[in-house]
């Protein structure tokens, strides 16, 4: 078999593939037209971030069996096109974790001690010791937002510097955090108590601009913030204003909402250290990525299980009655995570009805994928989701019963504190339905943008919600209301055509008197 390496990877990775008996061509300077012409000869393609493995290229790759991305993200690979052609896509998600953690610490220390500004000043012929007085990190409180693999590595290093470490991550259990020497707190407490904040979360509709002007205002005067995860998590204009006004002491930023970029309000501020997305740019990380991706490609070409497969077909042997529940279970997992808030860490998946006689383990994995997909930095697959759940201290089990309730078949996610989400598929077209949220029975198709409001049942609430959304030009595609008793607690489920931002969600909560108001994007 032939492997094409289209971008530079570590020599060790190339040698490993050749030693395994494969023909490896390293052609890192191919023009797009030449790559399209050549790809039909190869069984495997290895890229980094510059080569676009899009639908056109994949269509030309008649013999392709696997595409390897030597790094974490797979934004430059068309996963749908690859899956349609039966091509496995693999990546190297752990290769840059250590480098990213070290870069976050480097940014933290550099701006705590004003190193870049002092360096530039001294090289310009100035000797300004007083102007560049910094702060020690020993004894200071570091808040880590996102305690996944990279966040945990940052915690280890911060503890070695004598820092007190707290963290916000509703998807990590308290026992797991305690093992790391970290106290779990709410987002509000993390921002309020921290001298330093570092972010290590995925960019999703829920986390985009999660740190805006209001959040920055709650931070201590003189506090500092680091983002070496994903651009768009911090409102850059609001951050620049908070530093310019003197409220915050500085920032270290490696990632930006739009990349590449050479213009930002942050670039003019002396107390801001910026780098051009260098978190994974170390010799060691690139070596690890090259070796890891070589191993993954070799496994795929041999037909063995590749641990870091991104688009694993959930199973071609899945029973026909079970298959329609996979996308539904993933959506229910997303909803469960959204309404659980401070996520439960003991989850039970219940399969009810005729499908209980089938092998439904993959349905539970689909639900886990939905629960974790929005909160981890790397792609979540059927292969790696049990590991990701274990990393976060999530325990899960599956129960089955052939006795159904109101439907022929139903799938239910049950968590701590009475959190329940359920759904089914109906009709010959297997149409998806949400059948329960919290302890309310409803029947509603999942929508692209959904909102859930839990409030006391009383006249006027539905009208008030419609008015608030109408005034904000948000169209209601579907609405269902469930209640258990007249005048008791009620649940309103909305499907809308456009996203609901935090400000509008607050208006909806106030207008309905809701105890809980949650928006999420399912698509």
For residue 259, indicate whether it is catalytic. yes
The tokens for 117 are 């500004």
For residue 230, indicate whether it is catalytic. yes
Cβ neighbour number for residue 506 with a 10 Å cutoff: 12
The tokens for 516 are 């809980």
For residue 164, indicate whether it is catalytic. no
Cα–Cα nearest to 518, from 189, 235, 170: 170
Exactly one of 230, 271, 345, 433 is catalytic; name it: 230
Question: Which residues face 56 on adjacent strands?
Answer: none
161, 389 contact by CB (below 8 A): no
From residue 55, give the alpha-carbon distance in Å to each of 75, 79, 90, 140, 509: 13, 9, 17, 50, 43
The tokens for 439 are 């302890």
The residues, any chain, with a CB within 8 Å of residue 402's CB and separated by 6 or more, are 352, 353, 354, 356, 357
Exactly one of 188, 259, 284, 431 is catalytic; name it: 259
Exactly one of 164, 200, 277, 454 is catalytic; name it: 277
199, 255 contact by CB (below 8 A): no
| DSSP three-state, residue 246 | coil
Using CA atoms, how far apart are residues 335 and 175, in angstroms rounded to an integer?
25
The tokens for 233 are 């998590």
Helical spans, DSSP H, in 245-384: 283-301, 325-340, 361-373
Helices 149-160 and 97-112: crossing angle in degrees, nearest 10, is 40
348, 419 contact by CB (below 8 A): no
Cβ neighbour number for residue 401 with a 10 Å cutoff: 12
The residues, any chain, with a CB within 8 Å of residue 193's CB and separated by 6 or more, are 141, 143, 166, 185, 220
From residue 100, give the alpha-carbon distance in Å to each of 106, 149, 288, 493: 10, 10, 13, 40
Using CA atoms, how far apart are residues 226 and 141, in angstroms rounded to an integer?
14
Supply φ then ψ for residue 91, to 5 degrees. Answer: -140, -175
From residue 462, give the alpha-carbon distance in Å to each of 89, 190, 473, 476: 46, 36, 16, 12
Question: Which residues face 454 on adjacent strands?
Answer: 491, 516
Using CA atoms, how far apart are residues 92 and 98, in angstroms rounded to an integer?
13
Cβ neighbour number for residue 95 with a 10 Å cutoff: 25
Active-site residue set: 230, 259, 277
């Amino acid at each position: 078999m032939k492997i094409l390496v289209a971008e530079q990877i570590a020599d060790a990775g190339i040698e490993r593939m050749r030693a395994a008996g494969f023909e490896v061509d390293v052609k890192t300077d191919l023009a797009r037209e030449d790559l399209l012409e050549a790809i039909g000869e190869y069984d495997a393609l290895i890229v980094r971030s510059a080569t676009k493995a899009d639908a056109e290229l994949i269509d030309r790759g008649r013999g392709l069996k696997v595409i390897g991305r030597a790094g974490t993200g797979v934004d430059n690979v068309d996963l749908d096109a690859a899956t349609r052609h039966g091509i496995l896509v693999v990546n190297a998600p752990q290769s840059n974790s250590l480098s990213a953690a070290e870069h976050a610490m480097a940014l933290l220390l550099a701006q705590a001690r004003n190193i870049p500004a002092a360096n530039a000043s001294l090289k310009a012929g100035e000797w300004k010791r007083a102007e560049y007085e910094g702060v020690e990190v020993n004894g200071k409180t570091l808040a880590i937002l996102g305690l996944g693999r990279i966040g945990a590595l940052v915690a280890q290093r911060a503890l070695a510097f004598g820092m007190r470490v707290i963290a916000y991550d509703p998807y990590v259990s308290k026992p797991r955090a305690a093992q790391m020497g970290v106290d779990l707190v709410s987002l509000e407490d993390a921002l309020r108590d921290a001298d330093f904040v570092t972010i290590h979360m995925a960019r999703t509709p829920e986390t985009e601009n999660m740190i805006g002007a209001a959040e920055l205002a709650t931070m201590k005067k003189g506090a500092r913030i680091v983002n070496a995860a994903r651009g768009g998590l911090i409102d850059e204009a609001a951050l620049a204003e908070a530093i310019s006004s003197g409220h915050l002491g500085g920032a270290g930023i490696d990632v930006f909402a739009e990349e590449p970029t050479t213009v930002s309000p942050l670039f003019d501020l002396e107390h801001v250290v910026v780098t051009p997305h260098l978190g994974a740019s170390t010799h060691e990380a690139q070596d690890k990525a090259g070796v890891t991706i070589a191993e993954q490609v070799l496994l795929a070409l041999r037909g063995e299980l590749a641990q870091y497969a991104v688009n694993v077909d959930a199973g071609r042997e899945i029973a026909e009655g079970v298959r329609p529940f996979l996308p539904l279970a993933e959506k229910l997992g997303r909803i469960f995570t959204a309404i659980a808030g401070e996520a439960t860490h003991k989850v039970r998946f219940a399969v009810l009805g005729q499908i209980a006689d089938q092998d439904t383990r993959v349905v539970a994995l689909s639900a886990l994928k939905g629960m974790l997909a929005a909160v981890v930095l790397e792609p979540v697959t059927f292969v790696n989701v049990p590991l990701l759940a274990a990393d976060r201290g999530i325990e899960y089990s599956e129960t089955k019963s052939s006795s159904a309730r109101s439907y022929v078949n139903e799938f239910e996610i049950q968590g701590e504190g009475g959190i329940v989400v359920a759904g089914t598929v109906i009709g010959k077209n297997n149409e998806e339905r949400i059948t329960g949220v919290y302890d309310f029975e409803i029947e509603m198709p999942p929508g692209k943008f959904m909102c859930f409001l839990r409030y006391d049942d009383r006249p006027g609430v539905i009208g008030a919600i419609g008015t608030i959304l109408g005034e904000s030009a948000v169209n209601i595609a579907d609405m269902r209301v469930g209640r258990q008793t007249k005048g008791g607690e009620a649940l309103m489920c909305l499907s809308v055509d456009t996203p609901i931002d935090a400000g509008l969600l607050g208006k909806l909560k106030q207008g309905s008197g809701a105890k809980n108001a949650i928006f999420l994007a399912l698509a």
